[in-house]
Structure 1
Amino acid sequence: MPKTVVVALGGNTFIADATHQSVPDQYAAAERACQHLLPLLRDPEVRLVITHGNGPQVGFILLRSEIAAAALHQVPLDSCVADTQGALGYQLERALRNEIRRQALAREPAAVVTLVLVDRDDPAFRNPTKPIGSFLTREKAEERRRDNGWDVVEDAGRGWRRVVASPVPKAILGLEAVRALLDAGFVVIAAGGGGIAVVEDEHGDISGASAVVDKDLASSLLARQLGAETLIITTNVEKVLLDYGRPDQRPVDVLTIEEAKRYLADGHFKSGSMQPKIEAVIQFLEGGGRDAIIADPEHLEAALEGHGGTRFVR
C-alpha cells in the first residue's frame, strides 16, 4: 500500500559552510540534498512531501534590509519567510526536476507557498527564542542588541544568533491543496521555513505575524494532518547524541517515545538545536505516526535500510 513520508530538510542543508553561502552555492547544496532523497523518489509506493528550514536565508534578507534602510523600506518578517519559501522551493523543485529527468523517474515536483496559523496570544510573542540568521561573535551580537534592538542568545555552543518569536503551529492552511497534489502523484514541497506565520482576528481575517514557526514542529503537524506513516528530519549529525558536546557523548540507534521523553526531561537536548526535533518526533508518533528518523542527509539511505541515523518507535 502507498505510504506518505514527510522529509524535513534543515535550513543549513543549503549552506555547506561559511565560504559557500551564495545563491549558486545554495542551489548546489539543494542538488546534493535531492540526490540523498533518491531512495524515496525511486519507490513508487512512497507519497513524498519535502519541507525545509530557512533560518540562514531569512537572516540574509534581514541583513540586506538593514544595510539598505536609508534607501528602501524594511522587509517584515512574514514577507522574509515568504520570500525564502519561494526561493528555496524554487531551488528544490529545479533540483528535483533535473534529478528526476536524469534518473528517468515517473515523478513530478510542485512547490506550494504555505501559510501556518498561530495563536495571536501565544506567549512566544513575549519571549523570543527562535534563532535565525548567521552565527555571530559575542561582540557582534552585543552590538546588534545595542544598535538594532535585537534579542540575541548563545546557540548550543556554536556562536550567538538573533532570536525571534516562535509560536506553536495550530493549522496548516492549504492542507487540502497539498493532499490533492499528493493524490495526483506529485512530490510536494510545502511548509518551507515552518510556513508563513499568520494570525486570525475576531472576524476571521488573517494577517502576517512577526514570527518564525519552527520547521520541525510545523513538519510534524503537517505529517499528522496528512496521516503520514513516517517523518524524517535531517540535521548535521548522523545520529541523536546523548550528553552532546561532552567527552562521553554517545549516539543512539533506536528510541521509544518514553525514552525520548525521559532524555528530553533530563536536559540532553538543547533548545536551539535538537530539542524541537525530539519534540516534533514525539508529537508525530503520539499523533498516530508509525516511525520517525533523525539523521544527516549523507546517512539517510542507510537509515531507511535500518543501519543508520536514529529511529524512533512507539
Structure 2
Amino acid sequence: MRIVIALGGNAMTSADGRATPADQQSAIQQAAEPIADLVLAGHDVLLTHGNGPQVGNLLVKNELTAGHVPPVPLDWCGAQTQGTIGMLLLNALDAAFAARGMERPTAALVSRTLVDAQDPGFANPTKPIGRYLTEESTRPLVEQGQSFVEIADRGWRRVVPSPAPIDCLDSASAAQLMDAGFVVVCSGGGGIPTVREADGRLTGVEAVIDKDLTAGLIAQQVGADILVIATDVDSVIADWGTDRARPIGEVTVDEMHQIAAEQGFAEGSMGPKVAAVTSFAESGSGIGVITSLTKIAHAVDGEAGTRVVPASTLHPAH
C-alpha cells in the first residue's frame, strides 16, 4: 500500500519536550524504526512532520537579535526546518534500512503549500507561536511588522495567520519519486505558506499552516491508501478525563462526524487530527488513522488506533 505518515512534534524531541540537536537526532532515530519496518513489509511511504519546536528555536534567535539584524520571516523558517528535519530523517532511515539488510533510496523535498491570499485568517491572525515575552521585548518586533497579544498573567505572545491549505505544490514531484521507489519526506510543518500573485508568481508569506490538514491534503494528492497521523496516544479518546473515557476504534466517516460534534475536540490538539483523517476518508481516497508511533504497523493492519473508513470498507469486527 501507499502510506502517508505524519509525525507529530513528540517524534522530533525528547520525552520531556527538549529540542536540542542531540535530543532531536535521538528521537528521530527512534521514529525511523517502525517506519523502516513498514518499508521492509513492502509499503510505499511518504513522511511529513511537525516543526513547532524547531521554528520556536529560530523565533528565539529572531527575538534576541531583533535590534541588530532583520528577523527571518516564517516562510524562511519553514524552509530551514524542512531542510534540517529532512536531513535527520534521511540519515535515520538510511541507517534503519541498513540494519535490516535492505536498500531503499530516500529524498527530502523543500516543499510549498498554496493558500488563498484572501483567506480570512490574514485579516485576523490568531495562531499563537513562540514563547511569552515582556511588552518591552516585543517593541522591536512590532516595529518590524509582527503582531502580539497579551495573555493574562503570562505575557505577550506573537500571533500569526493560519490559512487553510489549498494545494501541496510539490506533491507531483513527491509522487514521481515514490513511483521510482523513493521514501519521501515532504510538506513538513504544513508546508511553506505560499500565495499566488495576480501575475502568477508564487510568494512565501508570514503564516503557519496546520500540519495535520496538509498531511490529509498531500495524502490525497499522491494517491495514498492510508493516512496515519502519529501522535502520543494509541487512539483518540472519547470523554477524555471522565470515568466514561473510552478509545475510539474503527468508525465510519459519518460516525466520526457525529463523535467530533459531540466531543468538541480541541483546535490546538486533537481537533485538526480528527478533521484531517475524516476528510481523507470522506474523499474516497482511503483510510485515515490516528495512533501512536509504536502502533503504526498494527494500525495499518487494522489492529490498533482510531481508524476512519467509508462504510463500505468497515472491518468485519466493527
> Same fold per TM (> 0.5)?
yes
* TM-fit CA distance, 1:22: 0.4
Answering whether residue 13 of structure 2 is matched by residue 39 of structure 1, we say: no
Q: How many residues align?
A: 301
User: 1:79, 1:92 → 2: CA distance?
Assistant: 20
* TM-fit CA distance, 1:13: 1.5
* TM-fit CA distance, 1:77: 0.8
Q: 1:250 to 1:131 in 2, by over 3 A?
A: farther
Answering whether residue 227 of structure 2 is matched by residue 228 of structure 1, we say: no
User: 2:104, 2:69 → 1: CA distance?
Assistant: 42
1:157 aligned residue: none
Alignment of 1:22-37 (within 5 A): 22-37=20-35
Alignment of 1:1-314 (within 5 A): 3-18=1-16, 20-44=18-42, 46-133=43-130, 140=132, 149-151=147-149, 163-314=159-310
TM-score, normalising length from structure 1?
Answer: 0.89
Q: How many percent of aligned residue pairs carry the same amino acid?
A: 40
Moved over 6 A (4+): none
Q: 1:153 to 1:280 in 2, by over 3 A?
A: farther
Task: Say if 1:130 and 1:166, in contact at 8 Å, map to a contact too.
Answer: yes
User: 2:262, 2:134 → 1: CA distance?
Assistant: 31
- Say which SS state the counterpart of residue 166 (structure 2) adopts: strand
* TM-fit CA distance, 1:289: 2.1
Supply the AA of the counterpart residue of 1:65: N
User: 2:119, 2:17 → 1: CA distance?
Assistant: 37
TM-score, normalising length from structure 2?
Answer: 0.88
* TM-fit CA distance, 1:276: 0.7
- Say which SS state the counterpart of residue 266 (structure 1) adopts: helix
Q: 1:232 to 1:162 in 2, by over 3 A?
A: farther
CA RMSD of superposed structures (Å) = 2.3
User: 1:198, 1:270 → 2: CA distance?
Assistant: 26
User: 2:297, 2:167 → 1: CA distance?
Assistant: 31
Deviation per CA, 1:174-224, whole angstroms, max 9, x where unpaired?
222111101110000000111101111111011111111111111111111
Supply the AA of the counterpart residue of 2:249: D
Q: 1:161 to 1:23 in 2, by over 3 A?
A: farther
Moved more, 205-214 or 283-292: 283-292
- Give ranges in structure 2 of 5+ residues lacking alignment: 142-146, 311-318
Give the number of the structure whose alpha-carbon radius of gyration is greater: 2
Task: Say if 1:125 and 1:165, in contact at 8 Å, map to a contact too.
Answer: yes
